[in-house]
Amino acid sequence: MSMDVYLKKMEDELRLRRYSPKTIQSYTSCVGEYLRAKGKDFEKVDIDFIKKFLLAKVDKGVSAQTTNQSLQAINFFCWNVLGYQGKIDIKFAKTPGKLPIVLSHDEIQAILKAIINKKHNLMVALAYAGGLRVSEVVDMRIKDINLAELTIHIKGAKGNKDRITILPEKLIENINQLIANRDFNDYTFASERGGKLTTRTAQMIFEKALKKAGIQKDATFHCLRHSFATHLLENGVDVRYVQELLGHANIRTTQIYTKVTNPMLRNIKSPL
């Protein structure tokens, strides 16, 4: 079979398992690169070749995260497309233990103050208030918001999981103004051209506001989610509840935020 046939089989298997469009694109791209490097005998699983392929990436200075994604995609291809039954004994690369970038309460307010457009302002405020990913914000529909219970139903999030998160009472009036006389199936933050805003548009709105607010941190839209989690922990919310609100499968993922909220560290004075 040709490489294109294998890639189509790969895409079909990913779609059957309800992987997100972004993951499908990433995985098929990784496997396409792997098959082009292989050149022939696509149906054979050569562990030594896979190792050499990944080592070539390391030698080029590719990040550990990207190398790991290639390995995950190749594993999926071998097991689910080729039907390989053996063990692919290749360890994942160790990724750097970077701490999340967190914005302070004052910085969040400065960012919101810098966004004049009411719809865009509400979008950023809601992302922070509910700990939402940028994709979850643009995919949100009016029917997903429950103003009576102050909750947002996030549907088909990362890992195709649903979850419930919170929204503050202070945003009710602004939300009502935005959704007035609109169909409940509409996207909450609809594009002026119809449909939903793109994730890139949302990111650009945040980046422009960050710059306008004069904040020097290397922050992205996703840092609103980091800040949500950190501020909840600072307010004494149990890490298990934060885990549920963020939709983390493993509590260890949530516990990374405890490293930037430790009050004992803040009370220690430098000996200088």
List active site positions: 133, 158, 222, 225, 248, 257
Beta bridge partners of 153: 164
Handedness of CA 42, 44, 48, 50 (dihedral sign): positive
Dihedral angle of Cα 21, 209, 256, 140, to the nearest 10 degrees: -40
- Give residue for tokens 């791209």: 29
Q: Answer yes or no: are the C-beta atoms of 36 and 3 closer than 8 Å.
A: yes
Q: Answer yes or no: are the C-beta atoms of 166 and 119 closer than 8 Å.
A: no
**151-154: strand order across its sheet:** 145-146, 151-154, 163-166
Closest CA to 33 of 53, 16, 8: 53
**Quick one: DSSP state of residue 148?**
T
Q: What are phi and psi of 14, to 5 degrees?
A: -65, -40
Q: Answer yes or no: are the C-beta atoms of 26 and 62 closer than 8 Å.
A: no
3-state secondary structure 160-226: CCCEEEECCHHHHHHHHHHHCCCCCCCECCECCCCCECCHHHHHHHHHHHHHHCCCCCCCCCCHHHH
